[in-house]
Amino acid sequence: MKKSVFALSAIFAFFKITSGYSQDKPNIVIIAVDDWNDWVGPMGNRQVKTPNLDKLAKMGVTFHNAQTPAHFSTPSRTAILTGLYPATTGCYADEVFLYDYPELVTLPKMFNNSGYEVVGGGKVFHHMPGYLDLAAYDYYYHWNPNEKKKGWGLNSWSSENKATPKQIPVTDVAKVMNYSNFDFVALPNELEEEMADTKCFNWAAEYLSGKHSKPFLMTVGSYAPHKANYVPKKYFDLYPLEKIQLPIVKEDDLDDVPEVARNRMMSEWNKKYSKLSGLDKPRERIVQAYLAACSYADAMVGKILAALEKGGYQENTIIVLWSDNGYHLGEKKHYAKHTLWQRTTNIPYFIAGPGIPHGGNHYGAVSTIDTYPTLLELAGISTKIKLDGISLVPVLKKPLKNDDRTVVTSFSSTNFSAVNSEWRYISYGKDGEELYDIKNDPNEWNNLASKPAYLEAMNKMRKQIPQSPLKPATDKETLRLICDPQNETFRWEKKK
């Protein structure tokens, strides 16, 4: 399968379209957010405050049943930006696609090849050093010049960031869990301009406010609401602790799931999260911090929308916003991501732009793997390159038209979920199955997999799981990142 990917990508690597700037050729802005679940106003959450996503939803189409291709950041972003599922590339976890597939034409590279000026900033590809497809960009902004020399890591909370708390972890929650990444704090409001995401989106806004001689593709990524949730106090103030509404946790929720899933969740819950019970309102504070980070990320989106309007590009710019994966806040007795349940896989996904209905809503299942082919069609770029997603242009024309499409999320080469407008099916290979009637059981509390009445639905959903998934690509731990500080480039090679 790798050879076929190489062949297809190599064919198009030499196919370069050149064209001048034209109002018929749309600009494109892709906004990536991190670990944002379906807690957004346009998707029905009444607790979170997201005025800018509300505005974006009115400008285009909201996909209410959008699913991520993979269960956490690295494989999800790889899939979205290559247009290929993990089952096609073998990139299920931290595998480095730049090493295994150096000839793959990523989404930004395709537009660069097609006559676009391509710029970017922030976390779009995975934030660890060595994952950014530098060759795809004419310019990539980084708030920290030192990181350019060390593989372009994009972590927002290094010690070189003036907004980073001096003593980490800050909270008793993170100390009890012995996990600083689970930390949170209300920063002084005046530190907002020092935050990495703020600097990145200020750069993006400045670019969009200027004049450009050719069509552009911008990819800009926010690290928020990924923890640690260090955000200005004014965003915490939006959510008084006494008014926080907690997700419902069903105490026996895991009793009917396969042992492999129960053990995975319960080990996390019992070893870490149950220790929080002795603290003061720990769950409320965790949710408050997450909501504050969501509102901060929403404010960053607002900078983009305002700049497009100021620069005069709003009428001829396609805007796409996606999250790499969702996030549990206690549901299914779990925090964070790394599951095949709804809270991890269902994410915000919006597309707006010229010719796209304002305030549209689509409730059928789609995947962010569809972003690449959709943008190709919207931009009028034709290619023979193989992509796993489909163009959503027909859906954008008629958002309310529902379909019976099923999309897949991977956890590994053996664990997958398949989702459509009626069912969520989860396969753990030989270790068990789950089936949920998501229309009548949106919390996914009742596993129907063992009930004879649902055998027909089970059989249909089983067929949607990849039948011959590729084995995992090269283990990152067997690779060495070689950096060239002088030229600010890097490469991967096999460890000797």
Contacts of 465 (CB under 8 A, 6+ apart): 408, 416, 418, 425, 427
Residue 13 predicted with pLDDT over 80: no
Residue 473 lies in a domain: no
Contacts of 250 (CB under 8 A, 6+ apart): 443, 445
Residue 418 lies in a domain: no
For the chain, give the longest Cα–Cα distance: 65
Q: What pLDDT is recorded for position 304?
A: 98
Q: What pLDDT is recorded for position 266?
A: 78
Residues spanned by the domain of 124: 2-14+25-407
Q: Are the CB atoms for 331 and 249 separated by under 8 Å?
A: yes
Q: What pLDDT is recorded for position 272?
A: 72
| Beta bridge partners of residue 407, listed in sequence order | 419
Per-residue pLDDT band at 402 (split at 50, 70, 90): confident
Task: Summarize the confidence of residues 249-258 as an average pLDDT.
Answer: 93
Report the share of the chain in percent with pLDDT over 70: 95
* Alpha carbon distance 458, 193 (integer Å): 51
Residue 161 predicted with pLDDT over 50: yes
Distance, first Cα to last Cα, the chain:
26
Place of tokens 């929403």: 298
Tell me the C-alpha to C-alpha distance, in Å, between residue 11 and each of 105, 268, 384, 385. 10, 46, 8, 8
3-state secondary structure (DSSP) of residue 230: strand
Residue 229 predicted with pLDDT over 80: yes
Residue 495 lies in a domain: no
Residue 23 predicted with pLDDT over 90: no
Residue 18 predicted with pLDDT over 90: no
| Residue 446 token pair | 């009742």
Q: What pLDDT is recorded for position 278?
A: 85
| Beta bridge partners of residue 410, listed in sequence order | 70, 416
Per-residue pLDDT band at 147 (split at 50, 70, 90): very high
CATH number at residue 149: 3.40.720.10
3-state secondary structure (DSSP) of residue 423: strand
Residue 48 lies in a domain: yes
Q: Within 13 Å, how many C-alpha atoms sit on residue 371's CB side?
A: 39
Residue 272 lies in a domain: yes
Tell me the C-alpha to C-alpha distance, in Å, between residue 381 and each of 113, 136, 183, 373, 387. 10, 17, 44, 9, 14
| Residue 474 token pair | 């090269």
User: What would the pLDDT profile of 289-326 be if each residue is shown by its tens digit?
Assistant: 999 999 999 999 999 999 999 999 999 999 999 999 99
* Alpha carbon distance 320, 149 (integer Å): 30
Per-residue pLDDT band at 156 (split at 50, 70, 90): confident
Contacts of 382 (CB under 8 A, 6+ apart): 376
Residue 446 lies in a domain: no
- Say how many C-beta atoms besides its own lie within 10 A of residue 93's C-beta: 20
User: What would the pLDDT profile of 460-480 be if each residue is shown by its tens digit?
Assistant: 999 999 999 999 999 999 999
| Beta bridge partners of residue 322, listed in sequence order | 32, 349
Per-residue pLDDT band at 453 (split at 50, 70, 90): very high
Mean pLDDT of the chain: 92
* Alpha carbon distance 232, 187 (integer Å): 4
Q: What is the pTM of this model?
A: 0.94
User: What would the pLDDT profile of 255-289 be if each residue is shown by its tens digit?
Assistant: 999 999 998 877 776 677 777 888 999 999 999 99
Number of domains making up the chain:
1
Contacts of 274 (CB under 8 A, 6+ apart): none
Task: Summarize the confidence of residues 105-125 as an average pLDDT.
Answer: 97
Residue 169 lies in a domain: yes
Residue 4 predicted with pLDDT over 50: no
Question: Is the bond preceding residue 228 a cis peptide, omega within 30 degrees?
Answer: yes
Task: Summarize the confidence of residues 74-79 as an average pLDDT.
Answer: 98
Q: What pLDDT is recorded for position 8?
A: 34
| Residue 366 token pair | 């789609």
Q: What pLDDT is recorded for position 269?
A: 66
Residue bearing the bigger pLDDT, 180 or 260:
260
Strand duo 229-232 + 184-187: pairing: parallel
Per-residue pLDDT band at 178 (split at 50, 70, 90): confident
Residue 445 lies in a domain: no
User: What would the pLDDT profile of 382-399 be if each residue is shown by its tens digit?
Assistant: 998 999 999 999 999 999
Contacts of 102 (CB under 8 A, 6+ apart): none
Per-residue pLDDT band at 28 (split at 50, 70, 90): very high
